[in-house]
């Protein structure tokens, strides 16, 4: 696994990814996991971050502890949700810490926002697109999960608009990251998915090319979400853009498509300092 755009870190057996612009803004701690450095076994090996996917709870807890320790996050600060490919984005506070870990999870929430330090927002992936946000001026951070449904319903724009409307953020101040997801060469979709993007009215420049026949198309989730973030007012030079494919690197990153669903989850974690 190699990247020109993102930073791949190693600490012993633990391998994790960070985003250069988020590091430079110095307002957040953040981490994106790989498959390496955990204690899970079998299809979950070794770093799995799903408490609900059939893995042993204690193993997943230890995996989170190792990720959190790597970047100085207290594991008790975690906030997770049950993601269902919506564009629902929820504001959370310190009172929500432990949700999805030691407390019941939120339901049907695919994005989380906070303006409080000590609240570690978690979203999970296995080919879908990670979106992370930080406004270092208003001190707000967020993370959202964008599969094709979340992308076509523009969860990235919804997240930015909520940061603006609830906390007075200026999109021009927001630092964003588009994390590792399935690449266009690996992601073939059918006509209903293509039509959903066309009908949405969003900019689909560079988002599709021809698939194996007239009823199939190759979808570029990174390009789609970049267009969404730009249309929401985020400056292009404030966006870290992944060049890592989860499916091409299925030995390094969990990929639903590469494994036929026999996999664990990757996690993005972000917390205001």
Domains present along the chain, CATH in parentheses: 7-182+237-272 (3.60.140.10)
> How far, in Å, CA of 105 to CA of 58, rounded?
17
Mean pLDDT of 101-126: 97
Does pTM top 0.75 for this prediction? yes
**Interval 161-197: pLDDT, tens:** 999 999 999 999 999 999 999 999 999 999 999 999 9
Nearest to 79 by CA among 103, 59, 55: 103
DSSP string, 123-142: EEESSSEEEEEEETTTTEEE
Residue 205: pLDDT band with limits 50, 70, 90: confident
Alpha-carbon separation of residue 183 from 179, 186, 216 (angstroms): 11, 5, 15
Nearest to 178 by CA among 10, 19, 15, 17: 19
Question: Can you give the pLDDT at residue 171?
Answer: 98
Residue 190: how many CB atoms within 10 A of its CB? 11
> How far, in Å, CA of 88 to CA of 48, rounded?
24
Whether the predicted pLDDT of 220 surpasses 90: yes
Residue 238: pLDDT band with limits 50, 70, 90: very high
Whether the predicted pLDDT of 129 surpasses 90: yes
Question: Can you give the pLDDT at residue 107?
Answer: 94
Retrieve residue 213's tokens: 């026949």
Residues whose CB is less than 8 angstroms from the CB of residue 58 and which lie 6 or more positions away in sequence, other chains included: none
**Interval 24-35: pLDDT, tens:** 999 999 999 999
How large a percentage of the chain has pLDDT more than 70?
100
* DSSP state, residue 218: E
> How far, in Å, CA of 234 to CA of 270, rounded?
19
Residues whose CB is less than 8 angstroms from the CB of residue 240 and which lie 6 or more positions away in sequence, other chains included: 5, 6, 19, 20, 21, 22, 176, 177, 178
* DSSP state, residue 99: B
Q: How far, in whole angstroms, is CA 124 from its chain's centroid?
A: 6
Mean pLDDT of 55-74: 98
């Amino acid at each position: 696994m190699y990247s020109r755009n993102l930073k791949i870190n190693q600490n012993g057996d633990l391998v994790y990814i960070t985003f250069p612009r988020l590091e430079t803004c110095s307002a957040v701690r953040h981490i994106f996991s790989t498959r390496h450095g955990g204690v899970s076994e079998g299809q979950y090996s070794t770093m799995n971050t799903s408490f609900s996917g059939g893995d042993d709870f204690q193993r997943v807890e230890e995996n989170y502890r190792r990720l959190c320790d790597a970047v100085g996050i207290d594991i008790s600060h975690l906030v997770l949700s049950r993601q269902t490919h919506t564009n629902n984005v929820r504001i959370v506070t310190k009172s929500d810490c432990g949700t999805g870990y030691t407390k019941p999870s939120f339901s049907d929430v695919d994005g989380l926002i906070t303006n409080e330090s000590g609240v570690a927002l978690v979203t999970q992936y296995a080919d879908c697109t990670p979106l992370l946000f930080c406004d270092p001026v208003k001190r707000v951070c967020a993370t959202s999960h964008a599969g094709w449904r979340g992308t076509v319903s523009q969860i990235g724009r919804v997240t930015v608009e909520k940061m603006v409307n609830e906390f007075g953020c200026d999109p021009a101040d927001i630092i964003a990251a588009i994390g590792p997801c399935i690449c266009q060469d690996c992601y073939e979709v059918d006509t209903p998915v293509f039509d959903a993007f066309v009908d949405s009215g969003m900019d689909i420049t560079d988002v599709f090319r021809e698939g194996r026949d007239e009823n199939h198309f190759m979808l570029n989730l990174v390009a789609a979400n970049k267009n969404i973030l730009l249309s929401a007012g985020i400056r292009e030079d404030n966006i870290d853009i992944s060049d890592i494919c989860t499916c091409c690197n299925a030995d390094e990153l969990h990929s639903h498509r590469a494994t036929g669903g026999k996999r664990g989850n990757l996690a993005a974690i972000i917390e205001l300092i």
